[in-house]
Amino acid sequence: MLKIEHLSVAVRGRKILNDINLHIKPGEVHVLFGPNGTGKSTLIGAIMGFDRYEILEGKIYFKGQDITGMSCDERARLGIGVMIQRPPTIRGLSLRKMVEICGATPEETETMAKWMGMDNFLDRSVNDGFSGGELKRCELLQLMAQSPDLLLLDEPESGVDLENIALVGKAVNYILHTEPCGGAGCDRPCCIKNQGFEHNPLESKRSGLIITHSGHILKYVPASHAHILYEGQMTCACGDPLDVLNCIGQAGYETCVKRGKCEVKK
Amino acid sequence: MDKEKLTAALDKKAMYGNDIDLNAYNDTNEARTKSVDELSQATRDRLEYVGIETGAAEEENRSASFVQLDNNAVEVKVKKQTPLELMSTGKAAEKYPELVEKYWWKAVKPDTDKYTAKTALEQEQGYFIRVRAGQKITTPLQACMCISHDQQLQHVHNVIIIEDGAELSIISGCTSAHEVESGMHIGISEMYIGKNAKLSFTMIHSWGENVIVRPRTVALVEEGGQYISNYVSIEKAKDVQMYPTVHLNGKDAVARLNSILVAPEGSHLDIGGKVILNAEGCKAESITRTISTGGEVINRGCMTGKVEGIRAHLECDGLMLSNKGYIYAIPELDAQTGNAEMSHEAAVGRINPEEIEYLMARGMSEDDATATIVRGFLNVNIEGLPDSLAKKIEATLDSFKYNKGM
């Protein structure tokens, strides 16, 4: 699905990421740990193709295609979807229109907004005066409509109260395990139209890359791989993402990275 | 006012705006075009663009219609059983001398500047509208001012009286004939809004590229009355200067002014608005969204709070989409008493690139993302508009294509 080779990225002339390699196969969900300011958001921004992330070296492949030089909208249309940490307010553009722009029909927009508890926000300007949790739910609503094959989430649970983390997790699972509607008469079992929010996830070919500090999201979204990004370099951590999280909790990032493997005291 | 004094005022420069030589225009009152049917199809399309309906759409969506070409009213129609009076100001002056005493040139002083003086000296043109007490008219009246000959000076004097408890919505479409290259429009409007009465006045301008425009509007609002003004101008306009003034004279009177302005290269817009809050509980809000794609905009807004317990809010926001031109925002708040709640917000700048990228990350092209943000910026929530007109304005805004090269 996604392959990153020897990627180095700078922001405003300063090198943030150095020689990053990452391979996410279809159906895999990877988690990215790392201290603040280490370049996790930069990696997600570079994969999405945001302008301020300057690729110094290396290549990004998506579905086998070299996307390193592609614009952000081309990447989105190829099937990459992103949730950024601080989305801007778009004044005068209703959330309803925005969700429709992302690809949902008016009926789907209504249904999904209800699932996300955002139906009262549909006629408000996108992100205008939204609280932390509302922003996350709003992003997920748009991503549901966009229905990407690769989901990039930058701290999906930050600012979300405990009760709503389950909802965030459910939404992420929904996106990972749903296919866009094939149009009139579509009978795919995992088509948006043919299932509710509470569906039983089928095996998915979709992938995700999730940045998390607390790891709360992992309770709801089963992740297959974990990485630690430390001082601009990627360490592939072995083992279960929850073990890696425990290891970081017990020993700290630096020790974990130096050890190169997880030793969790049970 | 005596003629001598008025004649002297013909040289009086206006407070704002470039000084215009009125002698450069033809001020004939001769009726050279006698009906809308004589206008070319291209011109009739322009009328439709500024909200003037004809045929079945007019029958359905308008309660009355007034069309003035140059200095002659060529159409004055009121749907049967609609309780409003509509006629040319000239006819009304003959019919109701007592109203002339009470309302003509009382809100606007005729010697305010050369434009008011010129209009006061000329034969009366324009429309007179009266809605009697308690009559609520739900379907809007349309009024069209059109310059149909090149170099023509159009001078208009409108008087609108909404008596106590009455309601009316007016759509005022102003344009010039397709063939007209230059001309000048002076429009004096005096609006009298009675107790608990409501007037919603929506003006769409699409003048020819070299037309000079000088509206002079004053509205007086009594206790519990509401005046809602919406102004849309998104085409090139050589030189427009206006500063409509609203006096909220009665307790709990309300004024809302919304303006959507786009200034392409070659436009000079000096647009403002003033609300004077003279009585307890009065509320005023003025929201202006301005875009320069190379043109010049001066955006004045002024609120004067004279008594305690009033509320006023002013927004003058601008987007610069070009390195040419300018947006000069001048919000003014004048509190003359304690316990007045007055605020303003003015932001002028370029589009935030993060907003563009945000939409691009959802699959929109850069151009579409930019156009969507621009449209959102202009999307002022215009209250109290009939659906058909709200759609019209939306379509007008949709027709505005942001072009990167501008």
Are A50 and B353 within 8 A, CB to CB?
A: no
Are A73 and B369 within 8 A, CB to CB?
A: yes
* Chain B nearest CA to A74, separation (Å): 7
* A87 contacts in chain B (CB < 8 Å): 358
Candidate from A122-126, A174-178, B195-199 with smallest mean pLDDT = A174-178
Are B353 and A103 within 8 A, CB to CB?
A: no
Nearest chain A residue to B365 by CA: give it.
A73
Where residue B381 falls among pLDDT bands split at 50, 70, 90?
low
Q: Is the Cβ–Cβ distance between A21 and A234 less than 8 Å? A: yes
The pLDDT value given to residue A84: 94
Does the pLDDT value for residue A200 go beyond 80?
Answer: no
The pLDDT value given to residue A222: 87
- Distance (Å, rounded) from C-alpha B290 to C-alpha B348? 9
3-state secondary structure (DSSP) of residue B399: helix
Are B375 and A92 within 8 A, CB to CB?
A: yes
Question: DSSP of chain A, one letter per residue?
Answer: -EEEEEEEEEETTEEEEEEEEEEE-TT-EEEEE--TTSSHHHHHHHHHT-TTEEEEEEEEEETTEE-TT--HHHHHHHTEEEE-SSPPPEEEEEHHHHHHHHT--HHHHHHHHHHTT-GGGTTSEETTT--HHHHHHHHHHHHHHH--SEEEEE-TTTT--HHHHHHHHHHHHHHHT-B---STT---TTBGGG--TTPPPPP---EEEEE-SS-GGGGTS---EEEEEETTEEEEE-S-HHHHHHHHHHHHHHHHHHH-S-----
- The H or E element spanning position B44 is helix B41-49
Tens-digit pLDDT profile for residues B43-86: 998 898 888 989 998 999 899 999 999 999 999 999 999 999 99
Half-sphere exposure of A99 (CA within 13 A, CB side): 31
Are A92 and B379 within 8 A, CB to CB?
A: yes
Q: Amino acid identity of A256?
A: C
Name the percent of chain A lying above pLDDT 70: 90
| Site from A90, A102, A109, A144 to mutate, B interface, most B CB atoms within 10 angstroms | A90
* Chain A nearest CA to B352, separation (Å): 9
For chain A, positions 167-196, list CB contacts with chain B under 8 A: none
Candidate from A59-63, B193-197, B220-224, B376-380 with smallest mean pLDDT = B376-380
* A71 contacts in chain B (CB < 8 Å): 360, 366
- Distance (Å, rounded) from C-alpha A140 to C-alpha A156? 9
- Distance (Å, rounded) from C-alpha B154 to C-alpha A64? 67
The pLDDT value given to residue B401: 58
Are B372 and A82 within 8 A, CB to CB?
A: no
| Residue A263 neighbours by CB under 8 Å, 6+ apart | A247, A251
Q: Is the Cβ–Cβ distance between A16 and A229 less than 8 Å? A: no
For chain B, positions 345-364, list CB contacts with chain A under 8 A: 352-355, 357-364
Which residue's entry shows tokens 């992103």?
A: A82
What is the maximum span of chain B, computed from C-alpha positions, in angstroms?
Answer: 68
| Site from B354, B356, B357 to mutate, A interface, most A CB atoms within 10 angstroms | B357
Are B361 and A51 within 8 A, CB to CB?
A: no
Query: Residues B227-240: what's their mean pLDDT?
Result: 91
Query: Residues B202-229: what's their mean pLDDT?
Result: 95
* B352 contacts in chain A (CB < 8 Å): 88
* A50 contacts in chain B (CB < 8 Å): 357, 361
For chain B, positions 363-392, list CB contacts with chain A under 8 A: 363-366, 369, 372-373, 375-380
Mean pLDDT (chain B) is 91
Nearest chain A residue to B370 by CA: give it.
A90
Are B362 and A101 within 8 A, CB to CB?
A: yes
Candidate from A160-169, B306-315, B387-396 with smallest mean pLDDT = B387-396
Does the pLDDT value for residue B150 go beyond 60?
Answer: yes
- Which of B357, B363, B376 is the closest to A146 by Cβ? B363
Are B379 and A102 within 8 A, CB to CB?
A: no
Where residue B406 falls among pLDDT bands split at 50, 70, 90?
very low
Are B364 and A71 within 8 A, CB to CB?
A: no
Task: Indicate the Cα dihedral angle A104, A102, A39, A64, nearest 10°.
Answer: 90
Nearest-5° Cα angle at B32, B27 to B36: 115
Where residue A237 falls among pLDDT bands split at 50, 70, 90?
low
Tens-digit pLDDT profile for residues B4-53: 999 999 999 999 999 999 999 999 888 888 898 999 999 998 898 888 98
Nearest chain B residue to A88 by CA: give it.
B355
Kindly report the backbone phi and psi dihedral angles of residue A136, in degrees, each rounded to the nearest multiple of 5, phi listed first: -65, -45
Nearest chain A residue to B367 by CA: give it.
A73
Are B358 and A91 within 8 A, CB to CB?
A: no
The pLDDT value given to residue A192: 65
Nearest-5° Cα angle at A254, A248 to A255: 70
- Distance (Å, rounded) from C-alpha B121 to C-alpha B105? 12
Partners of B320 in beta bridges:
B292
Q: Amino acid identity of A185?
A: G
* Chain A nearest CA to B313, separation (Å): 18
Candidate from B246-255, B270-279, B383-392 with smallest mean pLDDT = B383-392
Where residue A158 falls among pLDDT bands split at 50, 70, 90?
confident
A197 touches chain B (CB under 8 A): no
Does the pLDDT value for residue A137 go beyond 60?
Answer: yes
- In the 8-state DSSP scheme, what is residue B14? P
ipTM of the complex: 0.92
* A82 contacts in chain B (CB < 8 Å): 361
Nearest to A62 by CA among A209, A254, A248, A162: A209
Measured CA distances, A248 to A179, A232, B239 (Å): 35, 17, 67
Helix A132-146 vs helix A106-115: angle between axes, to the nearest 10 degrees?
140
Q: Is the Cβ–Cβ distance between B363 and B355 less than 8 Å? A: no
Please count the residue pairs, one from chain A and one from chain B, whose beta carbons lie less than 8 angstroms apart: 63
Where residue B157 falls among pLDDT bands split at 50, 70, 90?
very high
- Which of A51, A87, A101 is the closest to B364 by Cβ? A101
Candidate from A64-78, A190-204, A208-222, B357-371 with smallest mean pLDDT = A190-204
* Chain B nearest CA to A93, separation (Å): 5
The pLDDT value given to residue A163: 82
| Residue B156 neighbours by CB under 8 Å, 6+ apart | B68, B119, B125, B126, B145, B185, B186, B187, B188
- Distance (Å, rounded) from C-alpha A93 to C-alpha B397? 13
Nearest chain A residue to B372 by CA: give it.
A93
Candidate from A111-115, B282-286, B378-382 with smallest mean pLDDT = B378-382
Task: Indicate the Cα dihedral angle B364, B370, B371, B373, nearest 10°.
Answer: 100
- Distance (Å, rounded) from C-alpha B35 to C-alpha B68? 9
- Which of B361, B376, B380 is the closest to A76 by Cβ? B361
**Higher-scoring residue by pLDDT: B283, A103:** B283
The pLDDT value given to residue B137: 96
Which residue's entry shows tokens 């925002």?
A: B329
Does the pLDDT value for residue B405 go beyond 70?
Answer: no
Chain mean position to CA B107: 16
Nearest to B83 by CA among B143, B157, B164, B167: B167
- Which of B363, B376, B378 is the closest to A76 by Cβ? B363
* Chain B nearest CA to A46, separation (Å): 12
Tens-digit pLDDT profile for residues B291-310: 998 999 999 999 999 999 99
Nearest to B278 by CA among B320, B221, B324: B221
* B379 contacts in chain A (CB < 8 Å): 92-93
Name the percent of chain B lying above pLDDT 70: 94
The pLDDT value given to residue A189: 65
Q: Is the Cβ–Cβ distance between A176 and A206 less than 8 Å? A: yes
* Chain B nearest CA to A41, separation (Å): 15
Neighbouring C-beta atoms of residue B332, cutoff 10 Å: 14
- Distance (Å, rounded) from C-alpha A171 to C-alpha A98? 18
Query: Residues A38-44: what's their mean pLDDT?
Result: 93
* A102 contacts in chain B (CB < 8 Å): 362-363
Half-sphere exposure of A211 (CA within 13 A, CB side): 22
- Can you give the pTM of this predicted structure? 0.82
**Higher-scoring residue by pLDDT: B375, B72:** B72
B15 touches chain A (CB under 8 A): no
